[in-house]
Structure 1
């Protein structure tokens, strides 16, 4: 659970809007070779955590198991630019099937008329997924 100062930042209108509507975040973490990585990811904000879902064999899963510290940027390409910068810790849980958070993240950009087809396709594709829950510790 984010502390009170972080909650105040996340409760600002721009932060709430970005967490609710931005299609992508950029997650930064330390790779196994010690060099930083930045990867665009779909995400879902559950009110406490930024949730990112991926295949359990993804390089970021192994890296985050070794070092849970992450940074996230959620921003726009509009004028004026808007950005939310977060630092936090990641916890990973491998789950059977496709997590609801994965589907909710994809609904931010997908065509509503194709949601049902998309959901069936991903359920047919993935037996298991890794849920990465990032708890913000700074915003």
Structure 2
């Protein structure tokens, strides 16, 4: 997918809303044994990359270093009318950071009040001497808004054929 298509998908109001209001996602990757993994993660969107942070000893760090192709799913909504999702494919790069990754704290601030965020930061700085900063550069992005009919093409075609 060309960069302008990626940027266009991420610029849609619903997609921007997910990126601004949501800090939780699901990361999919292939483990060392060749089997798939999906794990819940926190993320922060920098405007060009999705940043996920974890302990440097987390199993996914070594795996992603060897196999950097990933998928990321960000979704929200409990009813068909308000269900929205971003589906992202990309390439992960890992950097070890002394202390706490700043985007980790920024992601937490999106869902916490000031006092809780300050306590969270204090606890993180005590816990982590080093962290892995996993930066995912998107190579493909699609925004779905099921309430407005912005669905995967196969569903749109099926609905047109059968509900038509």
How many residues matched? 138
| Matched residue, 2:131 | 129
CA distance in structure 1 between the partners assigned to 2:43 and 2:94 by the alignment = 14
Q: CA RMSD in A?
A: 1.2
| Matched residue, 2:93 | 91
Q: Does 1:61 align with 2:36?
A: no
Higher helix proportion: 2
| Matched residue, 2:71 | 71
CA distance in structure 2 between the partners assigned to 1:87 and 1:52 by the alignment = 14
| Matched residue, 2:105 | 103
CA distance in structure 2 between the partners assigned to 1:76 and 1:59 by the alignment = 27
In structure 2, list runs of 5 or more residues that go unmatched. Answer: 142-164
| Matched residue, 2:8 | 8
Stretch deviating more after TM superposition (13-22 or 108-117): 108-117
How far is 1:111 from its partner? 3.1
Contact in 1 for aligned 2:25/2:42 (Cα 8 Å):
yes
CA distance in structure 1 between the partners assigned to 2:14 and 2:77 by the alignment = 14
CA deviations 1:64-118 (Å, max 9, x no partner) are 0111000000001332210000000000000101011000111122232222221
The TM-score normalised by the length of structure 2 is 0.81
| Matched residue, 2:157 | none
How far is 1:121 from its partner? 1.0
How far is 1:123 from its partner? 0.4
CA distance in structure 2 between the partners assigned to 1:53 and 1:21 by the alignment = 18
| Matched residue, 2:48 | 48
